[in-house]
Amino acid sequence: MASTVRVRFAPSPTGALHIGGARTALFNWLFARHHGGRFLLRIEDTDAERSSPELTDQILRSLRWLGLKWDEDIVFQSGRRSDHARLCETLLETGAGYRCFCPPDVLSEKRRIQESATGGYRYDRTCLKLDEADIQKRLQQEIPFAVRFRVPEGETAFEDLVHGRIVFRHTELDDFVLLRSDGSPVYQVAVVSDDHDMGITHVIRGDDHLSNTPKQILLYRAMGWDIPRFAHVPMIWGPDRKRLSKRHGAVSVEAYREAGYLPETLVNFLALLGWSPGDDREILSFPEIVRSFSIPGISKNPAVFDEKKLEWMNGQYVRSLPLPELLDRVLPFLRNAGLVQEDDPGFSEEFLLRFVVMLRERVRRLTDFAETGAYFFRDPESFDETAVEKFRRNLRTGALMEALLQNLSRTEDWTDETLEAVVRESAATLDVRAGDLIHPLRLVLTGQTASPGLFELMAVLGQETVLRRLKRTLALWTPNHP
């Protein structure tokens, strides 16, 4: 790059950070980091009714969680309104803009008539035909007016870094409003003014903004400003190949965080959602993605959001984390589930580490540790009903569990190796298969029919817990037990 790359992410704080917005932020961040440039953040908070500081904080929290640190002070668009108004004044002075005194109801009626006749609408430039005396008369009468941009004849063409050459004929453009009659500048004005003053060199955004680009280029030209390079990234689709929305499930970064996904996973997944490093790699670290990232690697076609692939990828990352770090990530979810306390977990670090080790090969999300492993921390409150009925049909199950309870009560060396020997020896003495003891015992300890290795689980739970759970469930095997 000939000059320092300066890109920006400009969310509107009218909702949580959407997955699509997060990918846009990520692509800008990666582009800046790849080229040694600057990644800036602008909060487009001019919609006072829908914007809120709480939503701004949520967006910032999501960006920080993803690791997308911005390089300079945040720009709040609402604080730049006077700069936006000055741009409109300049365009009025140069003749690139003009005042429009048409009342809203008149414009609405014109739109209705024209759309019914032609299917489209363009302002008929009634106010462009006013001479200076007419304009001054209306100003003296304090008639409200908007400011419109005078779209010149011809066309606007630009080289999009993703889609290639794009041409917009000006016959397709309306003399768009720059300043509303209440004195507030419109989106196009604010964006061009802000991007220019922030020194933005590249605008990387979703292709839903493509139709805004010719208007913004016209504004840059009218002001005599350098035009940034544009890259419009295709949309994200749900599995039904429609634009990703709430009907497809969680769509905000915050929701995925709460659902137990790792930020490393989401960054990796979003980077590959419409971009390719040029090979078949699917698991890439942050530095690897930065080194490989390039705009030519972005697909021109929409990317399909595959939730199953995201879960698979998260499982890979969960298993790759160093054990102490993984425990740190899991603990908040155990607290939220009420399994451990904030200040005093009530369990030794050794116990918690062994818990994580035993479950990490079986989970895909951090929430899974709490959801599938609650029996590590408290006695099961319910039991798999199908399994209970199955074991009840064996009238000896109750007696077998009682005999096993007695043998385990006398066991002093509470290790998984010893426990396996005790269970298998008990089965031989009772003249049953080992499975006749192992399977109901697993149900007693976990409430489930599947778990990590039973003997290691018994060793981790400890003798007191195992014996207590055996005693309290002896009645479970009687046919009339509720």
Burial 93-123 (b: 16+ CB within 10 A, else e): eeebbbbbbbeeeebeebeeeeeeeeeeeeb
The dihedral through the CA atoms of 249, 253, 256, 262 has a sign that is positive
The dihedral through the CA atoms of 257, 260, 263, 265 has a sign that is negative
Longest CA span, the chain:
112
**Quick one: CA torsion of 273, 276, 280, 284, rounded to 10 degrees?**
-70
Residues forming a β-bridge with 342 = none
Residues 6+ apart with CB under 8 A from 159: 165, 166, 229
Which residues are annotated as catalytic? 246
Question: CA 105, 170, 295 angle in degrees (round to 5)?
Answer: 115
Q: How far apart are CA 7 and CA 230, in angstroms?
A: 11
Q: How far apart are CA 115 and CA 119, in angstroms?
A: 4
The neighbour count for residue 322, using CB atoms within 10 Å, is: 8
Question: CA 42, 260, 27 angle in degrees (round to 5)?
Answer: 35
Question: CA 191, 192, 195 angle in degrees (round to 5)?
Answer: 80
